Amino acid sequence: MPPQLNELAGRIPQRWRQRVPMRLRNALVDRLGSPREPFDPDAYPARVNLGCGYDKRPGFLNVDLNDFHDPDLVGDVRSLPALPTGRYTEIVAQDVLEHLDRNDGPRALAEWRRLAAPGGKLTLRVPDLPGVLRWLQREDTADHHRTVIHHMFGTQAYSGDFHLNGFTELLLCDELFRAGFGAVEMELRDEWLWEVEAIAGGPPLGLVWGPGFYPAEQGRRWAGAEAELVICSGAEGPVDVALNLDPSRHPGAQTRLTVEGAAASETVALEVHATPVELRVSVPPGATRFSLRTEGEPATDGRVLAFQTAGRAALA
């Protein structure tokens, strides 16, 4: 039985089914299969993995549009009426938004906000359009360009496996703010994928670890000689923001760090132990970019390790 018809049949009350003559009922079951029992969200965890594909995660309700992925629930992530409002403390949607039409992205995010419990966490992964273009320009061979184009537009192995949209850090933050998510933090993975965490009901502020930063290791990030940090604001006007960093250097390095941007500048002689730095800046709506540059001799481990830092941005 097709999944939609199977689910619809499962909603028919038992007393109505019993009114159908037995021989007809048996013939329908032989032809179409037994109706699916009504979906019970309380039988599954309060964490949901949307657009799971074959990445079915234990401890989550796994949802996918395609029944051949064998999810817990076959459903369209843009509209999930079978799932209750405000129940889910964690929502994962890896490699999903880029597969939706541009007009459907905001619709999906609004639906995920409906599902999220207050303070619930949304975890996303989407391609970074400027990162893909930087990757494309790295090598002038047909095979390299073919590989990048493959990742840009999707595997295209079946319906729904095409990329229909692209994002920058600012566009993605703005869509999240509009949907009611905030306290966004983003980092680049493999230099072309944004990995994102956002909080339902959080303030409309995003901290973006841009090009030059490596992925976090136990809450801190190494960076090369130059890196970009971005604050995205969804406020209607300028807001005062405290940007707190605690940079340090590798024991094998001798480096000095300069942070510049938004009419603020700070130079720090880096030590092995973290040195707290706070910049208070007025941030307009949109993206405010900070350049972090080092002078001196960095360390290496196959990567250039000029400095390491953790950080947070908060309304002052």
Indicate if the pLDDT at residue 3 is higher than 60. Answer: no
Indicate if the pLDDT at residue 233 is higher than 60. Answer: yes
Question: 180, 202, 224 — which closes off a domain?
Answer: 202
123 with 230, same domain: the answer is: no
Percent of the residues in the chain that have a pLDDT greater than 70, as a whole number: 89
pLDDT tens readout for residues 33-83: 655 678 999 999 999 999 999 999 999 999 999 999 999 999 999 999 999
pLDDT tens readout for residues 73-107: 999 999 999 999 999 999 999 999 999 999 999 99
Burial code (b: 16+ CB inside 10 Å, e: under 16) for 184-216 equals bbbbbeeebbbbbebbbebbbbbbbbbebbbee
90 with 154, same domain: the answer is: yes
CA distance 294 to 254: 10
Domain assignment of residue 207, yes or no: no
* Segment 205-211 mean pLDDT: 98
294 with 246, same domain: the answer is: yes
78 with 220, same domain: the answer is: no
49 with 137, same domain: the answer is: yes
Number of structural domains the chain divides into: 3
Q: Give me the pLDDT at residue 218, please.
A: 93
**pLDDT band with cut points at 50, 70 and 90 for residue 1:** very low
256 with 127, same domain: the answer is: no
Give the residue numbers spanning the domain of 182: 40-202
Q: Give me the pLDDT at residue 281, please.
A: 94
Phi, psi of 135 (to 5 degrees): -65, -40
Q: Give me the pLDDT at residue 19, please.
A: 64
**pLDDT band with cut points at 50, 70 and 90 for residue 236:** very high
Domain assignment of residue 273, yes or no: yes
Domain containing 98 — which CATH number?
3.40.50.150
* Segment 301-313 mean pLDDT: 96
The answer to whether the Cα torsion of 216, 220, 223, 226 is positive or negative is: positive
* Segment 145-162 mean pLDDT: 92
81 with 226, same domain: the answer is: no
Indicate if the pLDDT at residue 309 is higher than 90. Answer: yes
Looking at every residue in the chain, the average pLDDT score rounds to 91
Of 201-215, 222-236, 257-271, 282-296, give the lowest mean pLDDT range.
Answer: 257-271
Domain containing 226 — which CATH number?
2.60.120
83 with 19, same domain: the answer is: no
